Chains A and B, each alone.
Chain A
Amino acid sequence: MEKKPVMLKIDQVQCHNENYATLFFNHGIEFIPGQFVMLWLPEIDEKPYTVSFHSKERFGVTVEAKGRFSQRAVALKPGDLVGVRGPFGNGFSFDAHANVCFVAGGCGIAPLAPMIESVPGSKTIIQGARSDDYLLFKDRFSGSDVHYCTDDGSFGQKGFVTDALADAMANNMFDMVYTCGPEVMMKKVFDLCEANSVRCQISLERYMRCGFGVCGACVCGKERVCVDGPVFESQQIRTLDDFNKKALLKSGKAVTLNDYFSWRSA
């Protein structure tokens, strides 16, 4: 089947703060939490975004204004047309009756949110951001045990999500920890899980082109983040040599993550 971008009208734009906005579309998609779509702004670019809200007839993506594309995306208005391809990727997996924990940093709550909503029973959520303004979706998970952390202490506990996770692990036997956020943070979460023999699923981000596993732009070690991921679990992470180390630039050049994430200023 042909998979060109489908032009969808934005139904609603929810501005969370000066840098984050969620774009909602009245359109049903077949979707597993953790999957992403490619958003196309004609004559600008096309980039991957995880689905952060999902119901039968509606979905949303949450965008952090960073560079050329995302700054335009958060400034879009209801009625504007956006091209959508996807969903792509594998998504998170879940075993019934597991006791699970979610650890999110910044915009990393976006892919985790639909997963949190789809998992039955009790769950622990640890969500961090630089400050109160940047904590997304407060009140969205009211039935759960939510711990907030901010770098400046403006909301919740002052400090890092990894400290809160270490505390939670001391009092709970988790079967699975799901995490998304800056790669250094996910590495620390993964190391904590390994030390405590807890399974873990991370969601990775790499520069993408096709989204369906042929172009090779998104490779991390031997894995293609767009189809083999973006979600990887402990067994794969152990052999994923490039995790928290290397990423390919648009040119295909392999660089350190620091160089990769300073792309804009380069």
Chain B
Amino acid sequence: MNVNFLGKQLKSPTVLASGILGNSFDILERVHGAGCGIVTMKSIGPAPRDGHNNPTVIDLGHGLINAVGLPTPGFRHMDEEWEDLEKRDFPLSASIYGGSVSEFVEVAKFVAEKGPDFIELNISCPNSAKHGMLFGTNPESSFDVVSAVKRVTGQIPVIPKLTPQALSIGEIAKACEEAGADALCAINTAGPGMLIDIESRKPILAYKKGGLSGQMIRPIAVRCVYEICQQTTLPVIGLGGVTTGRDAVEMIMAGATLVGVGSAVKSRGIDVFSTITRELAQWLEDHGTTLEEIRGAAHG
């Protein structure tokens, strides 16, 4: 199922969500081999960072809660991985984060020189006090980060990843569009939420709170994508709980061009990318329609 996205030919409309697998060249290559259209590296930060202690990820059955805490070797300490990635034969998105506009710019400039096909701006992670979500909940700071990054990334498309915690995600999307974003990705995890173990009377996650993902947040993700598409004309990667081909159809009807897949790797395995693509193609065939025709159909 070939799709064109910002001038690149993809073999599937599925995208690996940042933060899922994405830790090394070998595993990214495997995910591509499993049918994924664009694979996304784990978010890369300005300096080495361990992330939080465990427990960091808990399976809630209908989704996950996580506070991994943006671990990163730091963009300067990934030489071997960059070398491997230069030899790749698959579409790659490099996700980046920073604690300030200047840190975002520093990382973006370096990463752009490594030639990824896309750069994702993580302005939406709830799991670090200093990095992430702070930017994505405010239209002005979203504008500042995106426009500054666009100045140093040349031809490489820049895709901000948005948080559902914004008061109005449509306003953030508009600010990103005005700042020159090439596409948008929505949503990052929802919440944050908390689990307390009632026997030990302690929060389970070491960071205490964590972002929610998976099927339980899909309605939030669909609403966010719908609102974004009301406010902008940018292509959107719709992400949040997509588990089946029918979920992908729903996300595309909300206005998404591509669908991100993350937590479903847990319930359906790495082959979930080819499985969703097959189910989506089958649904379109059964209904005698096409991706283009159903895109945004719910906006009527």
What residues make up the interface of A, taking CB atoms closer than 8 Å to B?
A: 1-5, 7, 38, 40, 42-47, 81, 83, 85, 208-217, 219, 221-222, 224, 241-242, 248-254
Residue numbers in B under 8 Å from A241 (CB-CB): 26
Q: Do B72 and A4 touch (CB < 8 A)?
A: no
Known: A7-B200, A249-B50. 7 other contacts (CB 8 A): A7-B199, A83-B200, A83-B204, A209-B57, A214-B21, A248-B24, A253-B73
Q: Do A253 and B56 touch (CB < 8 A)?
A: no
Of the candidates A3, A42, A251, the one whose C-beta lies within 8 Å of that of B61 is A3
State whether A253 and B68 are in contact (beta carbons under 8 Å apart), knowing that A46-B55, A216-B21, A217-B23 are contacts in the complex: no
Q: Do A209 and B68 touch (CB < 8 A)?
A: yes
What residues make up the interface of B, taking CB atoms closer than 8 Å to A?
A: 19-24, 26-27, 29-30, 42, 48-51, 53-61, 64, 66, 68, 71-74, 77-78, 80-81, 195, 197, 199-200, 202, 204, 206, 262-263, 265-266, 269-270
A116 CB to nearest chain B CB (Å): 30
Interface centre among A4, A42, A215 (most CB of B within 10 A): A215
Residue numbers in A under 8 Å from B195 (CB-CB): 4
Residue numbers in A under 8 Å from B80 (CB-CB): 254
Measured CA separation A7–B55 after assembly (Å): 14
Q: Do B60 and A214 touch (CB < 8 A)?
A: no
Residue numbers in B under 8 Å from A221 (CB-CB): 26
26 residue pairs from A and B, CB less than 8 Å apart: A2-B59, A3-B58, A4-B60, A7-B200, A44-B53, A45-B53, A46-B54, A46-B206, A81-B199, A85-B55, A211-B57, A212-B266, A213-B265, A214-B265, A215-B56, A215-B68, A216-B21, A219-B23, A219-B27, A222-B26, A249-B50, A250-B51, A250-B71, A251-B50, A252-B71, A253-B73
Measured CA separation A55–B205 after assembly (Å): 30
Give how many A-B residue pairs fall within 8 Å (CB-CB). Answer: 131
Measured CA separation A214–B29 after assembly (Å): 15
Q: Do A209 and B48 touch (CB < 8 A)?
A: no
Residue numbers in B under 8 Å from A44 (CB-CB): 53
Residue numbers in B under 8 Å from A214 (CB-CB): 20-21, 57, 64, 262-263, 265-266
Residue numbers in B under 8 Å from A213 (CB-CB): 265-266, 269-270
Q: Do B68 and A38 touch (CB < 8 A)?
A: no
Residue numbers in B under 8 Å from A252 (CB-CB): 23, 42, 71-73
Measured CA separation A14–B74 after assembly (Å): 43
